[in-house]
A and B are shown apart, each in its own frame.
Chain A
Amino acid sequence: LRVRAPNARRHAIDPLRRWYAAVVTDARHLAKPVALFASLDPAALDEVIAAARVRHVESGSTFFREGDPADAFFVLNAGSVKLTQLTPEGHQVVLRLVGPGDAFGGVAAFGGTTYPVTAEAVTDAQALEWPGSVMASLMERYPKLAINALRFVAARLHELQVQYRQLATEKVERRVARALLQLVQQAGRRIDSGVLIDLPLSREDIAQMTGTTLYTVSRIISRFETDGILEAGRQRMVIRNPHALTSIADDLA
């Protein structure tokens, strides 16, 4: 991702763009580059960024709810967001965790009328927001943006296919191990005793991610604890033996 460095000769730099340039050029602030902006030329990127506004959402609040009119498209900059759906019986299902650099609310740019999911901030979150119609016309002007979006959609579809296969065929233990690996990828932080999943995630959340019950997840996590694979507290999990967990996830054990 190329971002023009703040130019000393330009006196008035749009504050949002300056903030964004600071964020994206500092790898510590952005774990992953924004795939949607890959190989856009700097002038196009400037225009895309200038059309966005920054939206902050506190932990526990939502960017949008399932069924709301789909009028805005988002790229997450900081924090974590979970995308959930409610079943007719009132159970919440976690479909995906969105991390920095990921887009969400894509239906807004592609003509959807309502959001199919709820986007809830799991930690304090900050995102760039575009009105759906604005993002759609930017995509028409800059086809690269549209191709990047298509890549993103294709990757999501692939992920869903894998998830579907896992749900249909894999042992629950392996699904839980995989979910934990995914969480490590998204929010892992090295601490003395191992790798901390730095997210306030409950066993109920993991149950929803793996399509199983709280009871089953609790049983599996307790077993992982007994085996010294992890240490689980309330809303806190430390992976003590990464190799054992990876072996279970990859079914090498």
Chain B
Amino acid sequence: MNAADLVNMLVSDVLRANPVTAAVFIDRRMPCVGCTFAPFETVAEVARVYGIEPAELANSLAGACVQARGSKGSHQ
């Protein structure tokens, strides 16, 4: 999943497709994991609420996905 797609995805969809992204929200002290509104808000929308550039948050989320895939690959 790349950052450009992630920006407009719903937060709950991002978390479901890539559970590793939970760490990104937690590290940034955003209570998105388990939030009632996660199925209703996009990554860009929550970024703005927390004063983060949407692209920056999307990049971190994409980075977490890539890292997770990488570490899985190294075990093979």
Contact = CB atoms under 8 A, between A and B. Distances in A.
B11 to A, nearest CB: 11
B39 to A, nearest CB: 7
A97 interface: no
A195 B31 contact: no
Nearest to A185: B36
Contacts of A239: 37
Interface residues of B, number: 8
B31 A246 contact: yes
Contacts of A188: 36-37, 39-40
B8 to A, nearest CB: 13
Given A242-B41, A246-B31, A181 B36 contact: yes
B1 interface: no
Nearest to B41: A242
Contacts of A252: 31
B35 interface: yes
Q: Rank and list the top 9 A-B pairs by shortest CB-CB distance, nearest first.
A: A242-B37, A181-B36, A195-B40, A190-B40, A243-B49, A185-B36, A184-B36, A188-B40, A246-B35
Given A181-B36, A188-B36, A195-B37, 11 more contacts: A184-B36, A184-B37, A184-B40, A185-B36, A188-B37, A188-B40, A242-B36, A242-B37, A242-B40, A243-B37, A250-B31
26 contacts: A181-B36, A184-B36, A184-B37, A184-B40, A185-B36, A188-B36, A188-B37, A188-B39, A188-B40, A190-B40, A195-B37, A195-B40, A239-B37, A242-B35, A242-B36, A242-B37, A242-B40, A242-B41, A243-B37, A243-B49, A246-B31, A246-B35, A246-B36, A246-B37, A250-B31, A252-B31
